[in-house]
Chain A
Amino acid sequence: FAGLADVSISEDIPVEGEITVPVGSRSPDEDFSTLDEPVRDTILRDLKAVGKKFVHVMYPKKSSALLRDWDLWGPLVLCVSLALMLQGGSADSKDDGGPQFAEVFVVIWFGAVVITLNSKLLGGTISFFQSLCVLGYCILPLTVAMLVCRLVLLAGSGTISFIIRLLVVVAMFAWSTLASTAFLADSQPPNRKALVVYPIFLFYFVISWMILTFTPQ
């Protein structure tokens, strides 16, 4: 505002007119005018975006949809459902049991934040929330694995059920790691890729371990 310091309007010039923005320069958002649409449309639009990202995770191709329009709804839904499904593990005392809801939540979100910070400190060009978004969405295969494990445990908990669960969890763990690496690897400096991928591997390994060692009441 320094340039306007010496602008003054002399008192005998009448100031009049309309202070409106010309119609032609409306931004695209205003065309949407989401205030007037039915609530169902608003919710469905977000749900479709989340669903589209789920599909991108299950069939990881190099697409920028996951990165460009990041959102954290999907990761939240996945994290909450995974934490809920990990409940009900039994123990004689509270100290020996599986992770509680808060512990799963903290492990997932704190782990994702630490990995994002790690990749940014190593010189990655991805933004903070984009990375959180990718890491959260790539938990989807593991959530599917948890669902399958719970169903298999309903049928029985012998050796065969353990082998099935082991195979499913290992496959989903590999899928998660590969999917997130496919999305995140490009934004890292080339001679540090392994340094960035390893913590992601560790993160999904810990989650897979929590899923595999779940024993119901």
Chain B
Amino acid sequence: ITCLVTYSFAEFDDAANLLAANPDATTISIDEPAEIPKNQRDRLQEPGREEDDELLGTDDSDKTELLAGQKKSAPFWTFEYYQTFFDVDTYQVLDRIKGSVFPVPGKNFVRLYIRSNPDLYGPFWICATLVFTIAVSGNLSNFFIHLGKPTYRYVPEFRKVSIAATTIYAYAWLVPLALWGFLMWRNSKVMNIVSYSFLEIVCVYGYSLFIYIPTAILWIIPQKVVRWVLMIFSLCLSGSVLVMTFWPAVRDDNRRIALATVGTVVLLHALLSVGCLAYFFDAPEVDFPAPLIPPHNGTTVVTRSR
């Protein structure tokens, strides 16, 4: 039994066996659509999956798999239920952030770092930090760009904080909801080996936004080329985390749907960063349109600021 259990743990996809062994466990984090018969196990050893499998050979992950199945059993109206989503230590949060900033090709963020313990701390506070970082950096960058100009008065632009907050929190929570719904729908039509729970998708999206925090700070530099280079760089990093997470979940599906899904994920991510750059940061070489209307009869000169 031990060999069977160990083997099935190494095969991350066979959590269905876990459920069969322990039917009383409430598993929220890993959804398994169907049990895979043992004679099809060879099919699973494709090259693409071996890299995923070799992450999970340690004993610690075995224990976390076992415990994860029995963790979240408090009813949803108690405080303890929500405490299970904050069951992370400092080093775990830092590890997850590191994993999102330095994506290793072929290693799946969810499997490597989340491992059935999705937390809400990271997504929530990374989004909060990003909101204020973008608002503050945008304000600072506008200040430095317009600094020498005579018609410029500094304004704190506090209203932009609420706009930033709405945008970023909507992106980090509604897009995962839509994506999760879509993946669930496809799972009912096509048997996918890998599927994620809603919280894991929220986790991936939240941690993938971390790279934008230093990017937003560096966007203060008022050079168009620098800003675009930074944006493409951070888009590649966080986009690759998302792609490597979601490609295994859709690659068994119709080719076009799989590509369309992954493409949409990347496109929305790009839209977010382009939109933030365009809205919160003024273009560096904007000319103050201060047209001097030639005075008629020596009357006053009208200058228009902004």
B155 on the interface (CB 8 Å rule)?
yes
Total A-B contacts with CB atoms under 8 angstroms apart: 72
For A97, list chain B residues within 8 Å (CB): 155-159
| Chain A: CB-nearest residue to B121 | A195
Identify which of A194, A199, A215 contacts B156 (C-beta below 8 A).
A215
Q: Enumerate 13 A-B pairs (CB-CB under 8 Å) in ascending A order.
A: A95-B159, A96-B156, A99-B156, A118-B86, A120-B79, A121-B82, A194-B90, A195-B89, A202-B128, A206-B132, A210-B158, A213-B154, A215-B156
- Chain B: residues with Cβ within 8 Å of the partner, total of 24
Which 3 A/B pairs are nearest by Cβ-Cβ distance? A96-B155, A213-B156, A121-B86
Identify which of A99, A121, A198, A209 contacts B136 (C-beta below 8 A).
A209
For A194, list chain B residues within 8 Å (CB): 90
Q: Are B132 and A202 in contact, with the CB atoms below 8 A?
A: yes
CA separation between A94 and B159, bound complex, in Å?
9
Query: A residues near B, CB below 8 A?
Result: 89-92, 94-99, 103, 118, 120-123, 191-195, 198-199, 202, 205-206, 209-210, 213-215
Identify which of B90, B121, B154, B159 contacts A191 (C-beta below 8 A).
B90
Q: Which of B60-92 contact A (CB under 8 A)?
A: 79, 82-83, 85-86, 88-91
Query: B residues near A, CB below 8 A?
Result: 79, 82-83, 85-86, 88-91, 93, 121, 125, 128-129, 132, 136, 139, 153-159
Identify which of A90, A92, A118, A205 contacts B132 (C-beta below 8 A).
A205
Q: Are B121 and A214 in contact, with the CB atoms below 8 A?
A: no
Of listed A89, A96, A123, A210, residue having the most chain B CB within 10 A:
A96
Q: Are A122 and B86 in contact, with the CB atoms below 8 A?
A: yes
B116: min CB distance to chain A, Å: 19
For A103, list chain B residues within 8 Å (CB): 158
Identify which of B83, B88, B129, B154 contacts A195 (C-beta below 8 A).
B88
Identify which of B91, B121, B157 contacts A118 (C-beta below 8 A).
B121
- For the residues of B in contact with A, the DSSP-based class is helix
Q: Are A202 and B129 in contact, with the CB atoms below 8 A?
A: yes
CA separation between A27 and B18, bound complex, in Å?
58
For A90, list chain B residues within 8 Å (CB): 153, 155
CA separation between A170 and B79, bound complex, in Å?
37
For A209, list chain B residues within 8 Å (CB): 132, 136
Of listed A89, A97, A193, A195, residue having the most chain B CB within 10 A:
A195
Q: Are B125 and A98 in contact, with the CB atoms below 8 A?
A: no
For A120, list chain B residues within 8 Å (CB): 79
Q: Are B139 and A213 in contact, with the CB atoms below 8 A?
A: yes
| Chain A: CB-nearest residue to B89 | A191
| Chain B: CB-nearest residue to A215 | B154
| Chain A: CB-nearest residue to B143 | A213
CA separation between A32 and B154, bound complex, in Å?
56
**Additional A-B contact list (8), CB under 8 Å, known A98-B156, A198-B125:** A92-B153, A94-B159, A95-B157, A118-B121, A121-B83, A121-B121, A193-B90, A209-B132
B158: min CB distance to chain A, Å: 4
Q: Are A214 and B156 in contact, with the CB atoms below 8 A?
A: yes
CA separation between A194 and B157, bound complex, in Å?
31
CA separation between A91 and B159, bound complex, in Å?
12
A112: min CB distance to chain B, Å: 14
CA separation between A95 and B85, bound complex, in Å?
37
A192: min CB distance to chain B, Å: 6
Of listed A118, A192, A193, A210, residue having the most chain B CB within 10 A:
A192
For A195, list chain B residues within 8 Å (CB): 88-90, 93, 121
For A96, list chain B residues within 8 Å (CB): 155-157, 159
Q: Are B121 and A122 in contact, with the CB atoms below 8 A?
A: yes
